[in-house]
Amino acid sequence: MITTITPNPKTLFFIDFLGALLSAFLLGVVLTRFESTFGMPSEVLYFLAALACLFAIYSFWNYMRFKENWRPYLRGIAITNLLYCGLTAALVIHFQQELTQWGLTYFLLEMVVIICLVVVEFKTLIQR
Protein backbone atom coordinates (compact mmCIF):
# COMPACT_ATOMS: atom_id res chain seq x y z
CA MET A 1 0.00 0.00 0.00
CA ILE A 2 2.81 2.42 0.83
CA THR A 3 4.28 2.02 -2.63
CA THR A 4 1.04 3.29 -4.22
CA ILE A 5 0.93 6.51 -2.16
CA THR A 6 2.61 9.59 -3.61
CA PRO A 7 0.76 12.55 -2.13
CA ASN A 8 1.29 16.18 -2.85
CA PRO A 9 4.56 17.29 -1.21
CA LYS A 10 2.75 20.09 0.61
CA THR A 11 0.39 17.51 2.11
CA LEU A 12 3.39 15.50 3.32
CA PHE A 13 4.65 18.50 5.28
CA PHE A 14 1.24 18.75 6.95
CA ILE A 15 1.12 15.02 7.71
CA ASP A 16 4.63 15.23 9.14
CA PHE A 17 3.56 18.22 11.25
CA LEU A 18 0.55 16.36 12.67
CA GLY A 19 2.62 13.26 13.38
CA ALA A 20 5.31 15.25 15.15
CA LEU A 21 2.67 17.02 17.26
CA LEU A 22 1.14 13.69 18.21
CA SER A 23 4.56 12.27 19.11
CA ALA A 24 5.41 15.35 21.19
CA PHE A 25 2.12 15.05 23.08
CA LEU A 26 2.44 11.31 23.67
CA LEU A 27 6.09 11.53 24.70
CA GLY A 28 5.94 14.75 26.73
CA VAL A 29 2.55 14.28 28.39
CA VAL A 30 1.23 10.72 28.28
CA LEU A 31 4.40 8.64 28.59
CA THR A 32 5.93 10.94 31.21
CA ARG A 33 2.75 10.78 33.29
CA PHE A 34 2.89 6.98 33.17
CA GLU A 35 6.66 6.58 33.27
CA SER A 36 6.46 3.43 35.38
CA THR A 37 4.08 1.85 32.83
CA PHE A 38 6.45 2.47 29.91
CA GLY A 39 9.84 2.44 31.62
CA MET A 40 11.65 5.18 29.69
CA PRO A 41 13.09 7.87 32.02
CA SER A 42 11.15 11.13 31.92
CA GLU A 43 14.29 13.14 31.04
CA VAL A 44 14.67 11.08 27.88
CA LEU A 45 10.97 11.40 27.08
CA TYR A 46 11.11 15.20 27.45
CA PHE A 47 14.16 15.32 25.18
CA LEU A 48 12.42 13.26 22.49
CA ALA A 49 9.29 15.39 22.88
CA ALA A 50 11.36 18.56 22.39
CA LEU A 51 12.84 17.11 19.20
CA ALA A 52 9.34 16.25 17.97
CA CYS A 53 8.28 19.85 18.67
CA LEU A 54 11.18 21.13 16.56
CA PHE A 55 10.21 18.76 13.74
CA ALA A 56 6.60 19.96 14.00
CA ILE A 57 7.69 23.59 13.70
CA TYR A 58 9.92 22.81 10.72
CA SER A 59 7.20 20.86 8.92
CA PHE A 60 4.50 23.44 9.63
CA TRP A 61 6.79 26.24 8.49
CA ASN A 62 7.41 24.43 5.22
CA TYR A 63 3.71 23.68 4.82
CA MET A 64 2.80 27.34 5.29
CA ARG A 65 5.51 28.78 3.04
CA PHE A 66 5.46 26.00 0.47
CA LYS A 67 7.55 26.91 -2.55
CA GLU A 68 8.41 25.48 -5.93
CA ASN A 69 11.79 24.44 -4.53
CA TRP A 70 10.33 22.01 -1.94
CA ARG A 71 12.70 19.10 -2.55
CA PRO A 72 15.56 20.04 -0.21
CA TYR A 73 13.12 20.71 2.62
CA LEU A 74 11.27 17.42 2.20
CA ARG A 75 14.61 15.60 1.92
CA GLY A 76 15.70 17.37 5.11
CA ILE A 77 12.71 16.24 7.14
CA ALA A 78 12.93 12.70 5.72
CA ILE A 79 16.59 12.39 6.72
CA THR A 80 15.88 13.97 10.10
CA ASN A 81 13.07 11.48 10.67
CA LEU A 82 15.47 8.62 9.92
CA LEU A 83 18.01 10.04 12.35
CA TYR A 84 15.27 10.34 14.97
CA CYS A 85 14.44 6.66 14.45
CA GLY A 86 18.10 5.77 14.86
CA LEU A 87 18.29 7.79 18.07
CA THR A 88 15.11 6.17 19.35
CA ALA A 89 16.46 2.70 18.54
CA ALA A 90 19.70 3.51 20.37
CA LEU A 91 17.76 4.73 23.41
CA VAL A 92 15.56 1.63 23.38
CA ILE A 93 18.69 -0.54 23.35
CA HIS A 94 20.34 1.56 26.08
CA PHE A 95 17.29 1.46 28.36
CA GLN A 96 16.12 -2.05 27.47
CA GLN A 97 16.37 -3.23 31.07
CA GLU A 98 14.05 -0.43 32.25
CA LEU A 99 11.55 -0.59 29.38
CA THR A 100 8.34 -2.51 29.88
CA GLN A 101 6.50 -4.35 27.11
CA TRP A 102 4.27 -1.27 26.77
CA GLY A 103 7.31 0.96 26.35
CA LEU A 104 8.97 -1.31 23.84
CA THR A 105 5.72 -1.61 21.89
CA TYR A 106 5.20 2.16 21.82
CA PHE A 107 8.69 2.92 20.54
CA LEU A 108 8.67 0.14 17.97
CA LEU A 109 5.30 1.28 16.62
CA GLU A 110 6.46 4.90 16.52
CA MET A 111 9.53 3.89 14.53
CA VAL A 112 7.45 1.80 12.10
CA VAL A 113 5.06 4.70 11.47
CA ILE A 114 7.93 7.16 10.94
CA ILE A 115 9.77 4.80 8.59
CA CYS A 116 6.58 4.35 6.55
CA LEU A 117 6.29 8.13 6.28
CA VAL A 118 9.94 8.40 5.26
CA VAL A 119 9.37 5.82 2.51
CA VAL A 120 6.51 7.91 1.16
CA GLU A 121 8.60 11.09 1.43
CA PHE A 122 11.52 9.59 -0.50
CA LYS A 123 9.16 8.09 -3.05
CA THR A 124 7.61 11.52 -3.57
CA LEU A 125 11.07 13.04 -3.97
CA ILE A 126 11.93 10.50 -6.67
CA GLN A 127 8.64 10.53 -8.57
CA ARG A 128 7.82 14.22 -8.69
Cα torsion through 78, 115, 98, 50, rounded to 10? 30
CA distance 109 to 37: 16
Q: Count structural domains, the chain.
A: 1
pTM tops 0.85, yes or no: yes
The reply to whether 103 falls in a domain is yes
The reply to whether 2 falls in a domain is no
The reply to whether 109 falls in a domain is yes
Predicted pLDDT of residue 1? 45
Is the pLDDT assigned to residue 127 strictly greater than 90?
no
Decide which of 91 and 7 is more confident: 91
The reply to whether 28 falls in a domain is yes
39-90 pLDDT tens trace: 999 999 999 999 999 999 999 999 999 988 899 999 999 999 999 999 999 9
The reply to whether 1 falls in a domain is no
- Mean pLDDT, the chain, rounded, equals 94
The reply to whether 17 falls in a domain is yes
Residue 53: domain span: 7-127
